[in-house]
Every structure is written in structure tokens, then in C-alpha cells.
């Protein structure tokens, strides 16, 4: 695995599509996917302050939870490897005969993988034998205040005052809360939820960001069946978007984000002369769970 995260590789790329020109809306995309070939995207940002605290507390073992295809698990493994910390990933469900590429790569980065059943996972039970050594716990997906503050630093990598709207995909809402915190009150943060009917999000983002809801909006209409579910129109869209812009997206998060935003632009959701910043939050490694040939990149 390539060692370091390449923060200097982040770029702000204009999105040039006929639909945008027609509606007189401009959009840039912040390419967090470029920071690492495997551990692309927002996960390092959400982890950074947890890891700083673990190091300050001289904790050597990091424990966290995730699924077998989790971007968070792989990012934790890589970030701990770089910081000389031991990482332990507690994975939902039974061990499969062939491990996912995500878990293979996490192991290569030195992560110890422990499987627990779905009930214990839902209860977030840490197996007793892992508790012998002093450990530092990071919530699944970096959810929590430190994750929010880390995500707020994402906007240090662009001229954030240039934009009227900041748009992102939402899983737990941690990244969105950070973006809300880091943006000005006259800006709108638009989040596209990739889960079906996750209606607790509004409250979570409000609590985590400390901002009222007039500063952000969550759209629940573009989940394509639910978390990590997809349909042919989404994959067709991602292929077309790649042909037109040369920008790869992932089918769990950023593909749904870009699909939703272009659809909303066509539907006149954004006023004329809006200047949008889309966050490319990475996640490209997850595309390896799709059958070969479905994506052209």
C-alpha cells in the first residue's frame, strides 16, 4: 500500500456539462479522491483529530467498527499504519471464504480483523479479549465531534467563499455537519442521503454542527434503493459523467451525489448564477464490489 496521504494532490476541477451552461449554474468539484489511490476521500479528514488525541494520550491500539466493504475501515488501517499505531477492525457478520478486497488491503496495512455477529455488532460490543490492552476507540464512520471538526478542515482546500452552495453525499452526516460548521451563514449546504428514509439525519446534523436547519438542506430522493444499492441508470450516469469529464465516481456515495445535483439543476432547484462546490468524498475502492465491465473506469 502506498504510504502517505497526498493532500497537495487535491484539486478544484470545473464540471463542464451542457445542462449547467443551459441553466447558467456553475459547479466545481473538490477532488478529495486524489489523496490516496485506495484510501480516497473524506475518511482521513474525519479520522485526523481522533488519531491526534490517541497519540496525545499515548494509546497504541485503535479499535473501530465497520462492514466488509467499509471505506472507514480501510482508511483507519492506512492512517494507523502511517502513524505507527496498531489498528483493530471489528467487522459486521461472518467471515467469508474469500475476504473482500477492502479487508485484504486493510490487513496488508497491518490491521487485525475480528468478525462479530450482527447482533453484537448492532450493540457495538467490543470482544473482551480486545479490552486487555489499553485501546482508543473511534466510532464507526468517525461519527462524533472530532469527526465533525476534522471534516470542517475539508474546506481549507478550496476558496470556500466563492460558492453559494456546497453539496455532499451523506452517510452518517458527520462530514456534512463539518461543512455546515465551516461555511458562512449565507451559504447553503445541500446533502444527498445515500440511505433510504434516514430521517434522523436532520436532527443529527443540527446537533453535530450546532447550526439551525436554515443553513442546510437534506434530500432523501436519490438513494437508488438504499445504502450500497444501485440501479442501471445510476451506473449509466456514472459512465457518461466519466466520458464527459474524466472524473470517476463511486456507486455508493459520489455517483448518487453527482446524479442528484445534475438532476436538481435540470429541475431548476438552484437559482440562476448559483456557484456550486461538490465534494468528491472518494470511496472509489468500493467499486471493486461491482461485476467487472459495469463501469468503464
Ligand X SMILES: *Cc1c(COP(=O)(O)O)cnc(C)c1O
Q: Does 174 bind ligand X (CB under 6 A)?
A: yes
Figure out which of the listed residues 31, 36, 43, 59 binds ligand X, where binding follows CB under 6 A.
Answer: 43
| Cell digits of residue 118 | 450482527
Instruction: Give the shortest CB-1-to-ligand X separation in angstroms.
Output: 17
Contact 179, 171 (CB under 8 A): no
Distance CA(46)–CA(235), nearest Å, equals 28
Stretch that binds ligand X, among 35-43, 54-62, 155-163, 237-245 (CB under 6 A): 35-43
What binding mask, one character per residue, do residues 233-252 give for ligand X by CB under 6 A, x or -?
Answer: -----------------x--
Residue 143, C-beta contacts closer than 8 angstroms, at least 6 positions apart: 172, 173, 174
Site for ligand X in 87-126 (CB under 6 A): none
Figure out which of the listed residues 61, 102, 172, 204 binds ligand X, where binding follows CB under 6 A.
Answer: 172
| Cell digits of residue 238 | 456514472
- How many residues contact ligand X, by CB under 6 A? 19
Figure out which of the listed residues 66, 144, 248, 282 binds ligand X, where binding follows CB under 6 A.
Answer: 282
- Cβ closest to ligand X, residue 67 vs residue 141: 141
SS (H, E, C) 239-279: HHHHHHHCCCCCCCCHHHHHHHHHHHHHCCCCCCCCEEEEE
Q: Does 166 bind ligand X (CB under 6 A)?
A: no
To the nearest 10 degrees (0 to 180), the angle between helices 232-245 and 254-266 is 80
Instruction: Give the shortest CB-111-to-ligand X separation in angstroms.
Output: 17
DSSP letter, residue 166:
E
Figure out which of the listed residues 87, 188, 198, 281 binds ligand X, where binding follows CB under 6 A.
Answer: 281
Distance CA(13)–CA(208), nearest Å, equals 29
Strand pairing class (135-138; 26-31): unpaired
Alpha carbon 132 to its chain centroid, in Å, reads 32
- Cβ closest to ligand X, residue 36 vs residue 43: 43
Instruction: Give the shortest CB-10-to-ligand X separation in angstroms.
Output: 14
Q: Does 76 bind ligand X (CB under 6 A)?
A: no
Contact 166, 189 (CB under 8 A): yes
Q: Does 283 bind ligand X (CB under 6 A)?
A: yes
- Cβ closest to ligand X, residue 23 vs residue 192: 192
Distance CA(81)–CA(78), nearest Å, equals 5
- Cβ closest to ligand X, residue 59 vs residue 78: 78
Stretch that binds ligand X, among 103-111, 166-174, 180-188, 260-268 (CB under 6 A): 166-174
| In 139-262, beta strands by DSSP E | 165-170, 188-193, 216-219
Contacts to ligand X by CB under 6 A: 41-43, 71, 141, 169-176, 250, 253-254, 281-283
Amino acid at each position: 500500500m502506498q504510504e502517505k496521504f497526498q493532500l497537495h494532490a487535491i484539486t478544484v476541477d470545473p464540471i463542464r456539462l451542457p445542462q449547467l451552461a443551459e441553466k447558467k449554474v456553475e459547479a466545481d468539484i473538490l477532488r478529495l479522491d486524489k489523496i490516496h489511490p485506495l484510501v480516497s476521500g473524506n475518511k482521513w479528514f474525519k479520522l485526523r483529530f481522533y488519531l491526534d488525541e490517541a497519540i496525545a494520550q499515548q494509546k497504541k491500539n485503535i479499535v473501530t467498527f465497520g462492514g466488509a466493504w467499509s471505506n472507514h475501515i480501510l482508511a483507519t488501517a492506512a492512517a494507523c499504519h502511517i502513524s505507527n499505531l496498531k489498528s483493530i477492525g471489528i467487522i459486521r457478520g461472518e467471515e467469508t471464504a474469500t475476504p473482500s478486497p477492502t479487508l485484504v488491503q486493510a490487513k496488508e496495512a497491518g490491521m487485525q480483523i475480528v468478525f462479530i455477529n450482527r447482533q453484537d455488532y448492532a450493540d457495538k460490543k467490543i470482544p473482551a479479549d480486545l479490552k486487555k490492552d489499553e485501546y482508543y476507540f473511534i466510532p464507526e464512520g468517525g461519527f462524533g465531534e472530532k469527526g465533525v471538526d476534522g471534516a470542517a478542515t475539508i474546506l481549507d482546500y478550496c476558496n470556500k467563499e466563492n460558492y453559494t452552495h456546497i453539496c455532499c453525499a451523506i452517510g452518517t452526516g458527520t462530514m456534512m455537519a463539518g461543512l455546515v460548521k465551516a461555511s458562512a451563514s449565507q451559504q447553503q449546504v445541500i446533502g444527498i442521503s445515500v440511505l433510504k428514509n434516514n430521517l434522523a439525519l436532520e436532527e443529527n446534523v443540527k446537533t453535530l454542527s450546532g447550526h439551525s436547519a436554515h443553513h442546510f438542506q437534506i434530500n432523501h430522493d436519490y438513494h437508488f434503493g438504499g445504502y450500497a444499492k444501485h440501479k442501471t441508470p445510476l451506473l449509466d450516469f456514472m459512465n457518461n459523467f466519466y466520458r464527459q469529464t474524466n472524473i470517476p465516481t463511486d456507486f455508493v456515495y459520489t455517483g448518487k451525489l453527482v446524479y442528484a445535483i445534475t438532476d436538481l439543476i435540470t429541475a431548476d432547484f438552484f437559482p440562476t448564477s448559483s456557484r456550486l462546490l461538490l465534494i468528491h468524498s472518494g470511496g472509489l475502492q468500493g467499486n471493486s464490489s461491482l461485476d467487472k465491465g459495469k463501469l468503464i473506469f
